[in-house]
Amino acid sequence: MNYISIENIDSLQKWVKQALKIKKNPLKNKKLGKNKTLGMLFFNPSLRTRLSTQKAALNLGMNVMVMNFTNEGWTLEFGDGAIMDQGASEHIKEAAAVVSQYCDIIAIRAFAGLTDKEKDNAETVLTGFLKYATVPVVNMESATGHPLQSLADAITMEEHKTTHRPKVVLTWAPHPKALPQAVANSFVQMMQLQEADFVITHPKGYELNPEITKDSTIEYDQNKAFENADFIYAKNWSNYNDYGKITNSDPNWTVNAAKMALTNNAKFMHCLPVRRNVIVSDEVIDSENSIVIEQANNRTYSAQLVLQKILENGK
């Protein structure tokens, strides 16, 4: 079993219930991962994913090895039949097969490069590992998705919802650096599996991949979208059509107290890391309605559920 995207979840409701059970007694399966090794490979920085996934593995009694490819690994080649006379020192064929000799599960973080849309959509790094690794693979944020984050978000919403069918708003917010669409994509896919009134709001032109948003509601008026919302999930992403570009940095899209006042006393959510007073004002993220730290806490249980399922199911 691999955990590559939200599409790998057979029943979100079941998974959320199971994760909440793990949260109540996280050391119950301390023996399950004995003498098993998780290898975590990072092609980009991380705080939460790195520590929460490691914590999850330790809760299951696993050993963990972490490797940062940015500074410490060989530059990898992914092209089939490539003549390797340029910068890359090692082909994914050997690299993935070799890591599989030392690890029982491989987890990978490899962000979108945001320059080549086709290459990002092809998930070159993740797909390369999937093809040439001989052990299960877990996505710790790839070019197009961050399914461990969205599973943690689903757990957090389950803990905080007060109605069966909450109104959930995914709002774009400005950011000075071009960011991937991955978090938003997986959040949308996860919401499509939920009983909810789900609305995406962003400036015109910032549409996500329509193959992901499908028939989800898009409302270009952020204030209108916020009306009566129970959850506000803020996230920046760079333009998908004008690929990887920042075509809007309007500070009017920052989530502030005046906007939150339009909601039904909504909880504020963000995957973190967040730029204060750019994505969200201090008053909102520091308010009682902010559940961003609980989201980060639930990253442990989302990762632990996935690792547990892989350990139980094998390949």
Residues whose CB falls within 8 Å of the CB of residue 132, separated by 6 or more in sequence, listed in order: 92, 93, 95, 96, 97
88 binds, among ligand CP, ligand AN0, none (CB under 5 to 8 A by kind): none
Min. distance of Cβ 272 from ligand CP in angstroms?
5
Instruction: Using the rule CB under 6 A, give the single segment among 10-18, 226-234, 269-277, 285-293 that binds ligand CP.
Output: 269-277
Q: Which of 62, 138, 152, 271 binds ligand AN0 (CB under 6 A)?
A: 271
Q: How far apart, in Å, are the Cα atoms of 149 and each of 29, 38, 189? A: 22, 19, 12
Cβ nearer to ligand AN0, comparing 39 with 147: 147
Min. distance of Cβ 132 from ligand AN0 in angstroms?
25
Starting at the earlier edge strand, list the strands of the sheet with 217-218.
Answer: 217-218, 197-201, 167-172, 231-235, 267-269
Q: Which of 46, 54, 139, 181 binds ligand CP (CB under 6 A)?
A: 46
- Rounded CA-CA distance 92/115 in Å is 21
The answer to whether 298 contacts ligand CP (rule: CB under 6 A) is: no
The answer to whether 2 contacts ligand CP (rule: CB under 6 A) is: no
Cβ nearer to ligand AN0, comparing 133 with 148: 148
The answer to whether 152 contacts ligand AN0 (rule: CB under 6 A) is: no
**60 and 307 Cβ atoms separated by less than 8 Å:** yes
The closest of 170, 175, 149 to 238, measured between CA atoms, is 175
Site residues (CB under 6 A) for ligand AN0, limited to 166-185: 179-180, 182-183
Q: How far apart, in Å, are the Cα atoms of 284 and each of 68, 200, 235, 260? A: 34, 20, 14, 8
Per-residue mark of binding to ligand AN0, 220-259 (x: CB under 6 A): ----------------------------------------
47 binds, among ligand CP, ligand AN0, none (CB under 5 to 8 A by kind): ligand CP
Question: What SS3 class is residue 107?
Answer: strand
182 binds, among ligand CP, ligand AN0, none (CB under 5 to 8 A by kind): ligand AN0
Min. distance of Cβ 298 from ligand AN0 in angstroms?
14
Residue 74 DSSP code: P
Cβ nearer to ligand CP, comparing 46 with 171: 46
Min. distance of Cβ 183 from ligand AN0 in angstroms?
5
Read off φ and ψ for residue 109, nearest 5 degrees.
-115, 120
Cβ nearer to ligand AN0, comparing 32 with 122: 122
Residue whose pair of structure tokens reads 């710790």 in the numeric block: 140
- Rounded CA-CA distance 41/133 in Å is 13
Min. distance of Cβ 217 from ligand AN0 in angstroms?
23
Residue whose pair of structure tokens reads 């006393």 in the numeric block: 265
Q: Where are the alpha helices (DSSP H) in 145-239?
A: 147-160, 182-191, 210-213, 222-226
Residues in contact with ligand AN0 by the rule CB under 6 A: 141, 179-180, 182-183, 271, 273
Residues in contact with ligand CP by the rule CB under 6 A: 46-50, 141, 149, 271-273
